[in-house]
Amino acid sequence: MKRTLQITVLLLGVTVGGFAQRQPQKLPAEQEIFLKYGADRLGKRQDENMKKFRDNRLGAFIHWGLYAIPGGEWNGKVYNEAAEWLKVWAKIPTNEWVKLMEQWNPTKFNPKVWAKMAKKMGVKYVKITTKHHEGFCLWPSKYSQYTIAQTPYKKDILGEMVKAYNDEGIDVHFYFSVLDWSHSDYRYDIKSKEDEVAFARFLEFTDNQLKELATRYPTVKDFWFDGTWDTSIKKNGWWTAHVEQMLKEILPGVTINSRLRADDYGKRHFDSNGHLMGDYESGYERRLPDPVKDLKVTRWDWEACMTVPENQWGYHKDWSLSYVKTPLEVLERIVHAVSMGGNMVVNFGPQPDGDFRPEEKELANIIGKWMSVNGECIYGCDYASWDKQSWGYYTRKGKDVYMIVFNPPYSRHLMVKTPGNTKITKAVVLSGKEVGVKEIAYNEYHVDMPAKDPGAPFVIKLQVEENANTSNKYREALT
Ligand code: FHN
């Protein structure tokens, strides 16, 4: 936290949305150290752009690059590890890898079809890999020789996607890997003067590419940085703070993930005083916080991202090599994230021909059907702060509390424990009928299952009366 802002905030005792906006592991204020490149603010951003980011809740990730062409196979050997890292697994030199550009010609690619599929799935934003670790750019960057312009496809495929998604009312976020395997000036660490000079050139190149992206595609709403874990970047925390500021000057309101940032001491995501850097936390990748034990995450904005197979982001031709989540498992992770005040981004790895694999189309379809009935328990919803029950998850929007039931009990009574002075006045299944509610003990209710078992996860919307005059008519046990 910068010193002047830090003092102001501490004097004002800022709280936003009812939470003291600090991490539990923070240092006591008087022990905080001075940081030039630490957090820029305490607490959640409350402006309209951030609110939109938060309310969107459900996004899709698109990992598309040269790696889609081999799809995990090189010289007849199939590698089970992440397909977008094949260059590393198969130890392929850059000059050979970039020859894949000659084969980049996705004849089935239709951005309108992609955008319609996302719309039907109910995603409100799409994160696109503008450049992954391999260095290949989906836009015709004038700073690189490895771009879409040098492929048989030639056209600005990123621009086509941005337009198509925006036309469907879907926000576009840019994934950008700072780590760039194709660039001779990239360094994993800075160990010599030569490294320092080369890496300075690399940072300038990266600045130029980022400025190019921000000015060519001014409707972009978010930059999501990746490949920022190397020591070279941790030793240049100043640069990560500079990038955030630079992008925010070009695109006021843009949101930026915590993964970009390192502070003066190379501490990432959270600075050395324990404060979140960037606008939202982006450390939950292929995992989620525990919905009972890890409630600290409800104090800041965060976004999780998830693969459908265990760890494949880019297209891999053989999904049978690892566990593939079912649509219901994907759905549960979406609900789980939102129930804890987070966003969820579900990954898609398009084929080299520009189509999606059948499993991904089916997944998008099933999630979309569910969202079209139940989306109101996801969009604009937040952590409800009611005690989690074993039947599923709660989300909340204003006065409405949603029960999202994944594990219906044999008793057919869904246990609900309300916070003090809160009464449930009505319970209705979304797109269904009202169900019975009975107070069974002080601040404990049974909400009935729908008469006909929905056979799929369902949502019950609760109307509640807060600050109600509830009295305990059940005498406490004397023990
Ligand atoms: O190495 C990448 C990986 O390929 C993928 O892009 C994910 C997406 O979050 N990020 C990195 C690993 O954290």
Q: Give residues with Cβ within 8 angstroms of 11, minimum separation 6.
A: none
Q: How far is the CA of 226 from the centre of ligand 1 (A)?
A: 7
Å from CA of 403 to ligand 1 middle = 33
Question: Could you tell me the sign of the dihedral formed by the alpha carbons of 437, 440, 445, 446, in that order?
Answer: negative
Residue with CA nearest ligand 1 atom 1: 227
Separation of CA 175 and ligand 1 centre (Å): 10
Q: Which of 313, 315, 346 to mutate to test the pocket of ligand 1 (most atoms within 8 A of CB)?
A: 313
Distance 324 CA to ligand 1 centre (A): 18
The enclosing H or E element of 256 equals strand 255-256
Distance CA 82, CA 310 (A): 9
The span from the CA of 80 to the CA of 72, in Å, is 7
Give residue 88 CA to ligand 1 midpoint distance, Å: 14
Which atom of ligand 1 is the closest one to the Cα of 314? 4
Pocket of ligand 1 (CB under 6 A): 63, 82, 84, 226, 285, 305, 313
Q: Output the tens digit of pLDDT for each of the chain's 479 residues.
A: 444 444 333 333 333 333 333 444 567 778 899 999 999 999 999 999 999 999 999 999 999 999 999 999 999 999 999 999 999 999 999 999 999 999 999 999 999 999 999 999 999 999 999 999 999 999 999 999 999 999 999 999 999 999 999 999 999 999 999 999 999 999 999 999 999 999 999 999 999 999 999 999 999 999 999 999 999 999 999 999 999 999 999 999 999 999 999 999 999 999 999 999 999 999 999 999 999 999 999 999 999 999 999 999 999 999 999 999 999 999 999 999 999 999 999 999 999 999 999 999 999 999 999 999 999 999 999 999 999 999 999 999 999 999 999 999 999 999 999 998 899 999 999 988 999 999 999 899 999 999 998 989 999 999 999 988 777 777 778 88
> Which residue's CA is minimally distant from atom 10 of ligand 1?
226
**How far, in Å, is the centroid of ligand 1 from the Cα of 103?**
24
Q: 46: how many CB neighbours lie within 10 A of its CB?
A: 10
**pLDDT at res. 19:** 33
| Whether the Cβ atoms of residue 295 and residue 340 lie closer than 8 Å to each other | yes
Which of 257, 285, 311, 345 to mutate to test ligand 1, by most ligand atoms within 8 A of the CB atom? 285
Give the sign of the dihedral formed by CA 404, CA 406, CA 412, CA 414: negative
**Distance of alpha carbon 162 from alpha carbon 170, whole angstroms:** 9
CA of 463 to the centre of ligand 1 (A): 41
Protein residue whose Cα sits closest to atom 6 of ligand 1: 313
Which is the closest atom of ligand 1 to the Cα of 229? 13
pLDDT at 16: 34
Q: What does the alpha-carbon distance between residue 386 and residue 393 come to, in Å, rounded to a whole number?
A: 9
Cα of 85 from ligand 1 centre, angstroms: 9
User: Which pLDDT score is estimated for 23?
Assistant: 46
- Tokens at 103, concatenated: 């084969």
Tell me the C-alpha distance between 74 and 321, whole Å: 16
Write the residue with the smallest CA distance to atom 7 of ligand 1: 313
Contacts of 471 (CB under 8 A, 6+ apart): none
